[in-house]
Amino acid sequence: MSDALAIEGGSPVRAAPFPPYEPPPPADGGDALEAFERELAAFCGGERVAVACANGESAFALALEAAGLDRGEVVVPSLHGEAAAQAVLMANLAAVPGAVDPETVNLSARGFARAMGDATRGMVVSHAFGHPASMEELLRLAESEGRALVEDISEALGGAHRGKPVGGLGAATLAFGDGHLLTGGGRPGGAVLVEASQEEYVRAGRAQHGGEPDEDAVRVALAELRGAQASLQTRRAAAWQLTERLRGVRGLAKMPHGRWVMHGYDRYVVRLHSMLWQRGVAETVDALRAEGVPCDLALGPSLHLDGPVCALLGEADIRLADEHFASTAGLPGELIAIELTFRTSAEVDEVAQALRKVAAASTRDAGVGSTGTR
C-alpha cells in the first residue's frame, strides 16, 4: 500500500464501506411497550420506573417537568450540550453554559458552581460519547445547593460510575438514535426514568408531549435492549483493541477512560495534539473518511458563544466570559469521533492502520508552532 493519503491520490486502507448496522428482528408477542418500560428500568439499576415517549424531545421535556424545572435557569454542558440546551430553551427556560471537564467533555462540578446564579434551578448532565460523568460529585453539589439534576443517558446506556448505572439519579431522559445502543430501527422514540412517586404524573403528561412511541420502534428497541450486554461487550472489545493499536502514535491520543468508569462507547474519540499536527481537524476528518474510516467532528462551538443562549442571558452576563471556558477552548478543533461500526479484529486493525497513516502524514516535519486548527 502506498504511503500517500487517499485524499491526495493514494490507495485507501479500506475501499469498501464498513457493513452498516443491522437492527435485530423486532421482539414479538405480548405487550411490547410494558415489557420495554419494565426491562429498561431494570437495566438502569431498578431504582426508577421508565415511561416510553414518542421521541427524544418529548422525553427531555417530561424529564425537565418531573425535575420541577418549570422556570428560571438550567445549567447545561458548554460542549456537546446542544440537545440539552435546545430542550431547555423549548421549555421556555434559560440555558446557562457550564464548563466541562477537558478530559471527558462532561459537565464538571466546578463548571456548575461557576454557572450558578440566583435564578438557577438545576442542571442537565450529558454523558459525552458514552463516558459517564462523575455523578456522585455532581449530585452532592446539586443537593447541597437545592438544585435539581437531570441526566441525558442517550449515549451512555449501560455505562456506570463507581458501580452506579447511569439513569439512576434524578430524572433521566433517553432518545433512540443512530449509533446509540437503542436505535429503534431508525424510528423516533425515547423514554424518561423517574421515581415511582412521579410515574402517574409523567404518564398523564405524556399525552401532551406526543403520546406513546410507534410500536415498531418499541419492538426493535426491546430486542436491542435484550441484546444490550452483548452489544456493549462487542463495542468495548473493539474500543480496547483500537486503544492498544494506537499506542505510541505521535500526535494522537484517545480520550481517557476515567477511573471507576464503565464506558458506554457510543463513539470512540481521539484527540489531536495540536502542537504536533499540521492538518486541521476538518481536513483530518476528510482524510480519514477517504481512507475508509467513518468519523466526524466530535464537537461544535461552545454554547457560551451561541446566539440564542446568549440572547436570553444577556451578553454582559459574566458567566459567559471566555476566561471561564479557556481550558476547553481548543477542544472543538482537536477531537474526532469515530463511529463504532467496525466489529471484527481485522476491521479494528484497518481503522488503526488508517489512523496511523494519517497521523504519519499529518505530523511529518511538523513545526512546534503549528496549531493544527487552520
Decide: 170 and 204 in contact? Cβ < 8 Å.
Answer: no
- 8-state DSSP, 74: E
Q: Residues 218-242: what's their mean pLDDT?
A: 96
- Between CA 266 and CA 64 the distance in angstroms is 24
58 burial via Cβ count (<10 Å: 0-12, 13-18, 19+)? buried
- 8-state DSSP, 330: T
- Between CA 334 and CA 317 the distance in angstroms is 28
Which domains, ranges and CATH numbers included, belong to the chain?
Answer: 32-227 (3.40.640.10), 229-363 (3.90.1150.10)
Question: Over 80: is that where the pLDDT of 18 sits?
Answer: yes
Q: Which of 166, 165, 162, 164 is nearest to 260 (CA)?
A: 162
| pLDDT (tens digit per residue) in 136-155 | 899 999 999 999 999 999 99
Give the pLDDT score at 371: 38
> What mean pLDDT, rounded, does the chain reach?
93
Radius of gyration of the chain (CA): 21
- Between CA 48 and CA 38 the distance in angstroms is 10
- The residues, ordered by sequence, that sit 6+ positions from 283 with a Cβ below 8 Å of its Cβ are none
Tell me the H-state helices in 246-280: none
- Between CA 114 and CA 353 the distance in angstroms is 42
Cell numbers 422556570: residue: 71
- Between CA 162 and CA 257 the distance in angstroms is 13
- 8-state DSSP, 333: G
Give the torsion through C-alpha atoms of 275, 276, 281, 284, to 10 deg: 170
3-state secondary structure of 265: coil
> Greater confidence, 30 or 124?
124
Tell me the H-state helices in 10-49: 32-43
- Between CA 39 and CA 311 the distance in angstroms is 42
Cell numbers 461500526: residue: 341
| pLDDT (tens digit per residue) in 285-343 | 999 999 999 999 999 999 999 999 999 999 899 999 999 999 999 999 999 999 998 87
| pLDDT (tens digit per residue) in 300-315 | 999 999 999 999 999 8
pLDDT-derived band at 257 (thresholds 50, 70, 90) equals confident
Give the pLDDT score at 211: 95
